């Protein structure tokens, strides 16, 4: 039987053993909705990174760069962290390097802590995510990005 655990804040991740579990990072209003929209709009890939410098480095390798801190787009980046910026052909066929205040840090933390799979969960892909998790059958950790820990 599949077990489901909820981590309510990035500050609490260390209390959970996520190794070999499916982790769904949930940053509903921004990062995960932006990732979902970018993929839906034809982006080839979205690389979530926690550091601004990592995103800039990927920009020098041809990635579109997207960055936000405290809800504000950062100067010197192609995009901020809004699903609307991914629409109307803006990201089609492109790779995106995305860094945000909360969500991308959680994605990277889950990947580094041994999660079997890290999924980007939002209202936009709720049904597809649930279907995939049920089909896969592993234990699940719902990891809430929160706001600044």
Q: DSSP character for 125?
A: G
Write down the pLDDT at residue 35: 97
Backbone angles phi, psi at 127, to 5 degrees: -65, -45
pLDDT tens per residue, range 18-67: 999 999 999 977 899 999 999 999 999 999 999 999 999 999 999 999 99
What whole-number distance in Å separates Cα of residue 83 and Cα of residue 36? Answer: 8
Mean pLDDT for the chain overall: 95
Write down the pLDDT at residue 69: 94
Give DSSP secondary structure letters for 8-64: -SGGGGGGS--TTSEEEEE-TTTHHHHHHHHHHTT-SEEEE-S-HHHHHHHHTTT-E
Write down the pLDDT at residue 146: 82
What whole-number distance in Å separates Cα of residue 118 and Cα of residue 78? Answer: 25
Q: What is the pTM of this model?
A: 0.92
What whole-number distance in Å separates Cα of residue 142 and Cα of residue 26? Answer: 7
What whole-number distance in Å separates Cα of residue 70 and Cα of residue 80? Answer: 11
Write down the pLDDT at residue 149: 66
């Amino acid at each position: 039987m599949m077990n489901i655990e909820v981590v309510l804040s990035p500050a609490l991740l260390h209390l959970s053993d996520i190794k070999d579990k499916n982790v769904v990072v949930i940053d509903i209003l921004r990062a995960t909705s932006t990732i979902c929209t970018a993929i839906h709009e034809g982006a080839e890939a979205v690389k979530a990174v926690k550091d601004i410098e990592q995103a800039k480095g990927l920009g020098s390798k041809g990635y579109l760069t997207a960055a936000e801190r405290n809800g504000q787009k950062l100067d010197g980046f192609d995009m901020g962290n809004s699903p609307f910026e991914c629409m109307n052909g803006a990201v089609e066929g492109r790779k995106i390097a995305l860094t945000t205040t909360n969500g991308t840090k959680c994605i990277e933390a889950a990947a580094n802590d041994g999660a079997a799979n890290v999924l980007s969960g939002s209202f936009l892909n709720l049904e597809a995510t649930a279907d995939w998790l049920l089909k896969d059958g592993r234990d699940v950790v719902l990891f809430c990005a929160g706001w600044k820990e």
